Structure formats: structure tokens, C-alpha cells
Amino acid sequence: MVRVIVATDSPSRADVQALLAEHLTDMFATSPADSVHALDHEALAADGVAFLSARAPDGTLLGCGALVELEATSPRDEGGTRAGHGELKSMRTAPAARGRGVASAVLRRLLGTARERGYGRVSLETGSQEFFAPARSLYTRHGFAPCGPFGSYREDPNSVFMTLELAARTDSGAVPGRATVGSCASKPLPATSPPSPSTPS
């Protein structure tokens, strides 16, 4: 397994822009245009987006991923805290780095960021086609469960929606999330193929 350094990065860096452009090209080649929800580098630079890159020790870009805030964590009127909701976006592994744990490393860090932000749930949209089977397999292995559309999404035969309820932090730190369909409508996942860290989303 390659050594991976995952850290906050700028989506405007030239190598990141190139990886994101490749990501978008694949999305439009695989799904109808109105079913493509991938973000470009400008959208990923917006407020409320945590953008991470995975790099080799020599700085070579291995992959990236982002966490977009759908609902902020906020105080409840009656006291306590209302947990926020985040969405995974732009999960992508460079072709030469696939199969070496890059996507899992990025995903774990993004889930850690979600817990730090006080989110109670992290959700995602990915494709229903066979091309996206490795992505669906990755998310399933990390505890995500199928759900219905969330946020501004609508039912779409080209989309699969998944969610993960995050357990509350304890004094010993963040604890693993648990799979749940929560308020989402459960639906079966398409068949998956052997997992790979290439995770178009």
C-alpha cells in the first residue's frame, strides 16, 4: 500500500484541476448530462466546502475528495444542538494510484471532518451504472446504506443515494458511524463489482 498524505488543499492547483477535469469528463461520458452532479474546481472553492487531496511523500497527487455542508450544526430553540448534514463530493483517485487505499484514506479523513463539524449525517450521490460499482462498494464497506434523494436531488434511475449516520463524539474522540436509512427511503443497490479506490461521485 502506498504511503498517502491527506491534507486540506486548494482545488485551484493545476494538478488538482486536471484531476477534476478528468473526473467531469468521465461523468459526462457515463451519465446523461442532467444526471451529472459533479462539481468543478470553482464550486469546490466555495465557503462551507472542505476540500482534501491525497499526495505521495514527493507531492504527487494521488486523489481528492470534498465535504459540502448541506445543513450547518446549530443550537436548538429548546436547548442542545441540532446536528448538521454533509455531502461527499468529488471523490477521485488518479489512475496510477488505484487499488492502493487512496480513496479509503480520503474518505476516513472527510468523515473525521464531518464529526469535527458536528454533523449527524453524511450522504452522497453516485451513479447507478456499472462504472460506479467500485464507488458503491467502497461506500458500503465504510458503513453507508442506500437511501432516497436528499437536499435538492430528485429520484433518478441514473443515481444511487447513500447515507451514514455519525455517532456522537465522546471524551475519547470520534467513534465510528453506523449505517442507517434514517428518514431516507430504502432502496436496493445495483450489483457491485470488486472494490477499487476510484470513486466517482
pLDDT tens digit sequence for 116-175: 999 999 999 999 999 999 999 999 999 999 999 999 999 999 999 999 999 754 333 434
SS3 of the chain? CCCCEEEECCCCCHHHHHHHHHHHHHHHHHCCHHHCCCCCHHHHCCCCEEEEEEECCCCCEEEEEEEEEEECCEECCCCCEECEEEEEEEEEECHHHCCCCHHHHHHHHHHHHHHHCCEEEEEEEEECCHHHHHHHHHHHHCCCEEECCCCCCCCCCCEEEEEEECCCCECCECCCCEECCCCCCCCCCCCCCCCCCCCCC
pLDDT tens digit sequence for 21-58: 999 999 999 998 988 998 889 999 999 899 999 999 99
